Amino acid sequence: KGLGTIVNMRDFEKAAEDMCSKVAWAYYASAADDEITKEDNNSDYKNIRFRPRVLRPVKEADASTKILGYDSKIPLWISPAAMAKLGHPLGEVNLTRGAHSSGIIQCISSFASCSIEEITAARAPGQPLFFQLYVNSKRHLAKEVITKINRLGLNAILLTVDAPVGGKRERDIRAKGAFEAPKTEAFDKQGETKGVAEAIFSAVDPDLNWKDLKWLREQTELPIIIKGVQTVEDAVMAYKNGADGVILSNHGGRQLDTTQTGLSTLLEIRKHAPFLLRPEYRIPTGPNPQLIANPEKLYPDPPSTEKSLDRKFSIFVDGGIWRGSDAVKALCLGADAVGVGRGFLFAQTVGGQQGVEHAVKIFESEILLTMRLLGANKVQDLRPSMVEVMDSQHH
Ligand code: FNR
């Protein structure tokens, strides 16, 4: 069965379920407790309605952007997700090759099943790669990892902060007994059989705090992005403590269940800390009074600037992005780019490198189609006035 039958990202999910081992499926699909947040992550996008503008030229359209200064063909990256080899023998290397041939950026998990050396060996010259860091309680081990990241010339560090301890992932717990932690420096204990998640989190320091951000800053000159920010307060804390950006994320619903979604956190930031957003994104959603007063103006909202593509503080969102239109909604609201976790794990499970390339094609064509139908031919033209948030509490 070829990739021709895979028309959207949910098709990858269905195909992967049939192809994965029970343990792999339990680990990939699982989320915490009742998996409410995992569901909300996608359904929240359904509460945003588009306000398409008509009679705008859209024959030429371009979805490319810059992410932390690096070119990306679409405003979407591969979120760091552990254990790609559970789905396909080549694991993360599929993502590295597929990301390069498709022109997008891969974020490597601290718990990748391929070693960092294997991944960087598969990297094309000049290919940007970001690294997701869990800080080991044994700081000398954490330091070794950061030294290696610096030496191998990776391009950014995503510090994951929403997982001081692992969430209660029941599918994973039920499937336990069949997994042995691989022998990598990330794992303290070897050969014990636990659920996959349980084995992984034994190496993460639950006492990590804001002071450690200073420590991390001393270890590297790379941009540091805080991953797993779930409130406007912590987004402001990240900014004030010198982070280069945040990923508004609840870890794909795998940590604390019934938290708000990354999208809702973005709405909180719009309301309570708009200074974190680029100026042209600080305007309200919905009908634009400026345009109503001057209906003949084509682009009434504040114009985008070159600088805004490469500004200091970046805001990313992940969780529940299954459609190009979901990504476009987050961008209209001020996100610089979005991340996709499970979607790419499933794509590489089903089709290896070609699966990843096919997934990027799906996202690219859906993003371009959405932009055209919305009346925008560049991602920098997406604006809050192009969407309306249905949930009244967020106005
Ligand atoms: C993850 N995620 C994750 N995050 C992280 O910072 N380090 C990690 O090692 C992992 N591992 C991981 C494994 C699996 C199987 C999944 C599904 C997720 C979270 C990931 O980066 C991202 O936040 C979510 O996956 C985004 O949600 P979607 O796209 O899966 O809905």
126-146 residue pLDDT tens = 999 999 999 999 999 999 999
297 versus 45: which is more confidently predicted? 45
pLDDT of residue 395: 45
* 252 CA closest ligand 1 atom index: 27
Q: Could you tell which of 79, 95, 107 is best to mutate to test the pocket of ligand 1, judged by most ligand atoms within 8 Å of the CB?
A: 79
106 CB within 6 A, ligand 1: no
pLDDT of residue 377: 92
pLDDT of residue 191: 43
pLDDT category, 99, cuts 50, 70, 90? Answer: very high
Residue 341 C-alpha to ligand 1 middle, in angstroms?
5
* 38 CA closest ligand 1 atom index: 31
Q: Is the pLDDT of residue 311 over 90?
A: no
pLDDT of residue 392: 56
Q: Is the pLDDT of residue 164 over 90?
A: yes
Q: Is the pLDDT of residue 26 over 80?
A: yes
pLDDT category, 2, cuts 50, 70, 90? Answer: confident
Mean pLDDT, rounded, for 111-119:
96
Instruction: Please tell me the pTM assigned to this model.
Output: 0.94
pLDDT of residue 303: 62
pLDDT of residue 288: 85
Respond yes or no on whether ipTM tops 0.95.
yes
Residue 387 C-alpha to ligand 1 middle, in angstroms?
27
Q: Is the pLDDT of residue 187 over 50?
A: no
**Mind listing the pLDDT tens digit for each residue in 38-53?**
999 999 999 999 999 9
363 CB within 6 A, ligand 1: no
252 CB within 6 A, ligand 1: yes
Catalytic: which of 27, 28, 45, 251? Answer: 251
The 10 Å Cβ neighbour count of residue 382 is 28
pLDDT of residue 192: 47
**Mind listing the pLDDT tens digit for each residue in 312-344?**
899 999 999 999 999 999 999 999 999 999 999
167 CB within 6 A, ligand 1: no
364: its two tokens = 């690219």
Q: Could you tell which of 85, 251, 349 is best to mutate to test the pocket of ligand 1, judged by most ligand atoms within 8 Å of the CB?
A: 251
Whether 162 is catalytic is yes
Residue nearest to atom 3 of ligand 1 (CA): 81
171 versus 201: which is more confidently predicted? 171
Of 314, 313, 233, whose CA–CA distance to 273 is shortest? 233
348 CB within 6 A, ligand 1: no
Q: Is the pLDDT of residue 78 over 90?
A: yes
253 CB within 6 A, ligand 1: no
Mean pLDDT (the chain) is 91
Whether 134 is catalytic is yes
Mean pLDDT, rounded, for 170-183:
70
pLDDT category, 310, cuts 50, 70, 90? Answer: very low
Residue nearest to atom 8 of ligand 1 (CA): 81
122 CB within 6 A, ligand 1: no
